[in-house]
């Protein structure tokens, strides 16, 4: 008897090549952004309790700061490899980063279950992951079809947050970040890609 996996949920993970200097620049800029972004701080008080995210205020950092522009250039290559692995036919469209924002997650901060409906690829790049940093939790997309499936089937998979590494996944995949356990802040960049018309 042979076993075969069909309809897998593919994700991509890996390091960003030669990124140590870039990570320092990104962290420096995120520190500055988090101090000056008044609207982002106010929004975070209600929606990202205890932490800071520029999601609702400055979600186009790849157009604002040279460090994020360089990050975009490097992660673009990884996103293109991922799309190729998925076998997408672009049909005159091209993959473009549409959103890019920063997250500072102290102990206890969390992000509830969600997905990104107007994107095709989403991801994160981890800048600091102190001991106890919480993993990204991915929901099994077949969950609503399990009905009478026997107990023991995993409903979620956790992907560790690792400093200097990225994760890419299709944007329809529901995901969450449970309350962070580390005493120091877990700092990351999140981003989305869409398929845009070629000029």
The whole-number pLDDT of residue 142 equals 86
Digit-coded pLDDT (tens) for 96-119: 999 999 999 999 999 999 999 999
Please report, to the nearest 10 degrees, the dihedral formed by the alpha carbons of residues 98, 197, 83, 79 taken in order. Answer: -30
The whole-number pLDDT of residue 158 equals 96
Q: How far apart are CA 120 and CA 169, in angstroms?
A: 9
Digit-coded pLDDT (tens) for 46-96: 999 999 999 999 999 999 999 999 999 999 999 999 999 999 998 889 999
The whole-number pLDDT of residue 32 equals 98
Q: How far apart are CA 91 and CA 19, in angstroms?
A: 33
The average pLDDT across 15-32 equals: 95
Relative to beta strand 136-139, strand 11-15 is unpaired
Helix (H, G, I), strand (E, B) or coil at 126: strand
Q: How far apart are CA 93 and CA 76, in angstroms?
A: 15
Domains of the chain: 13-197 (2.60.120.620)
The whole-number pLDDT of residue 197 equals 87
Are residues 171 and 117 in contact, defined by beta-carbon separation less than 8 angstroms? yes
- What percent of the chain has a predicted confidence (pLDDT) above 70? 99
The average pLDDT across 129-150 equals: 88
Are residues 120 and 79 in contact, defined by beta-carbon separation less than 8 angstroms? no
Q: How far apart are CA 87 and CA 83, in angstroms?
A: 6
The whole-number pLDDT of residue 188 equals 98
pTM given for the model: 0.94
The whole-number pLDDT of residue 90 equals 87
| CA atoms 116, 138, 180, 193: torsion sign | negative
């Amino acid at each position: 008897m042979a076993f075969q996996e069909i309809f897998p949920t593919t994700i991509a993970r890996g390091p960003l090549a030669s990124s140590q200097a870039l990570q320092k620049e990104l962290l420096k800029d995120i520190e500055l952004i988090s101090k000056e972004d008044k609207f982002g701080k106010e929004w975070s008080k209600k929606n990202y309790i205890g932490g800071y995210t520029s999601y609702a205020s400055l979600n186009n950092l790849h157009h604002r700061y040279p460090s994020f522009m360089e990050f975009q250039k490097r992660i673009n290559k990884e996103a293109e490899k991922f799309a190729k692995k998925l076998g997408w036919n672009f049909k005159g469209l091209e993959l473009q980063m549409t959103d890019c924002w920063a997250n500072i997650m102290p102990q206890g901060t969390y992000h509830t279950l969600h997905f990104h409906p107007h994107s095709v690829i989403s991801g994160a790049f981890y800048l600091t992951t102190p001991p106890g940093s919480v993993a990204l939790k991915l929901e099994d997309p077949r969950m609503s079809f399990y009905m009478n499936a026997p107990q023991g089937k995993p409903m979620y998979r956790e992907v560790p947050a690792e400093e200097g590494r990225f994760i890419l996944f299709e944007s329809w995949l529901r995901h969450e970040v449970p309350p962070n356990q580390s005493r120091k802040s877990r700092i990351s960049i999140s981003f989305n890609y869409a398929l845009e018309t070629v000029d």
